Amino acid sequence: MTSTVKTSGLEYQVRNRRNWLAYGLVMLAMIIIPPLAGDFGLYLGCVIICYAIAAIGLQVMVGVAGQLSLGHAAFMGIGAYATVLLQTRLGFPFLAAALAGIALTVLFGLLMAQLIRLSGIYFKIATFGFGVIVYQFLANWSSLTGGHTGLTGIPGVELFGATVENRQQLFAVLVIVFALAYALAVRLVQGRAGRAFAAIGQNEAAAESLGINVPGYKVGVIVIGCGFAGLGGLFVPQLNGFVNPDHFTWLESLLLLIMISVGGLGSLAGAVMGAALLVVVPEYLRAFAEYKMLIFGLILIVSLTLMPKGLAGVATQVLNKRAEGQAK
């Protein structure tokens, strides 16, 4: 038994180092690559970060805890609209509006978490229905949300008395937010809660037999995932200069699921890789824009067939082979 404990501890230390190494590599790529690609590269970098933050939250929900959500983009929408409306209607400064927007997203996440009473496919269908309800609310309450036209005249980002005046500065802000969100997710996954999430994701009955409060942790992981989605979504209006419901349809929820699947289920770095791939690829295939979802589907099928552990799994294999080669 002692040897088993030691092995588990060693495996945990290795996994811990790999998580932080992946964190460092992802941050390095985020800081270096987009600025080298010019202004459009900065724009894509900002879009990637918005999706990556939401995808990280979904990865914790789905890839770690096994709680599949088919309405995750709705929470990006709640964060986005709440932040803008608090700024424009109530005069909130950006930081206060953003924090309130995330808090509102968490509250809606807590509301959706009550659906865990449903089991199996019924829970998944209910999350899809939740996303559809949020979309219909955003699209049809024209007096508040602007309806299908959406909201324009988005106030700028002001933090601690300094105003973000251009895309370079917005990118810098997003990199900092992303770094904090990613680090928080790594700490969460490696901590006690993360181990409970993983146990639930592998076998709920076994987790319950170990004394884990399965319903409580399920609610917790859903709320956390929704909070991350709200954080990613609140910067979408700032980036585009407008926001409308079409940014947060069920297709966007499907896209987020494809991102974490292509990147590698259970891998935070994989969620970021998947987000980067599925944001960048369409930009180089604009001539085939009407086939976008078909292309995403093909990417998913090819990935699951040839890379069952996703892009993160491929990256891990490459690094392991390189380490073995250097050891020899």
Contact between residue 44 and residue 283 where contact means Cβ atoms under 8 Å apart: yes
The token pair at 177 is 């937010």
pLDDT at 249: 93
pLDDT at 311: 86
Rounded to whole angstroms, the Cα distance separating 116 from 126 reads 9
pLDDT in tens, 16-47: 566 666 667 777 777 777 777 678 888 999 99
pLDDT at 4: 36
Rounded to whole angstroms, the Cα distance separating 232 from 56 reads 10
pLDDT at 18: 63
Number of C-beta neighbours around residue 307 at 10 A: 16
User: Which residues are CB-contacts of 169 (< 8 A; sequence separation ≥ 6)?
Assistant: none
Q: Structure pTM?
A: 0.89
Rounded to whole angstroms, the Cα distance separating 164 from 140 reads 32
Listed residue (73, 72, 98, 99) closest to 84, CA to CA: 98
User: Which residues are CB-contacts of 227 (< 8 A; sequence separation ≥ 6)?
Assistant: 57, 102, 105, 106, 109
Mark out the alpha helices in 37-165 (DSSP H runs): 38-58, 73-90, 94-113, 121-140, 142-145
pLDDT at 327: 60
pLDDT in tens, 202-240: 999 999 999 999 999 999 999 999 999 999 999 999 999
For 215-257, the DSSP string reads HHHHHHHHHHHHHHHHHHHTTHHHHHSEE-GGGGSHHHHHHHH
Q: Strand, coil or helix: what is 159?
A: strand
Listed residue (271, 269, 272, 246) closest to 260, CA to CA: 271
pLDDT at 12: 42
Contact between residue 232 and residue 79 where contact means Cβ atoms under 8 Å apart: yes
pLDDT at 3: 36
pLDDT at 20: 62
Rounded to whole angstroms, the Cα distance separating 24 from 227 reads 23
Listed residue (240, 271, 254, 233) closest to 75, CA to CA: 233
Q: Kindly report the length of the chain.
A: 328
The token pair at 100 is 């309130």
The token pair at 328 is 């020899």
Domain ranges of the chain: 37-250
pLDDT at 220: 96
The token pair at 85 is 């409306």
pLDDT at 294: 84
Regions of the chain short of the pLDDT cut 70? 1-23, 37, 323-328
pLDDT at 55: 97
Element (H, E) at 34: helix 2-36
CA 206 to chain centre: 28
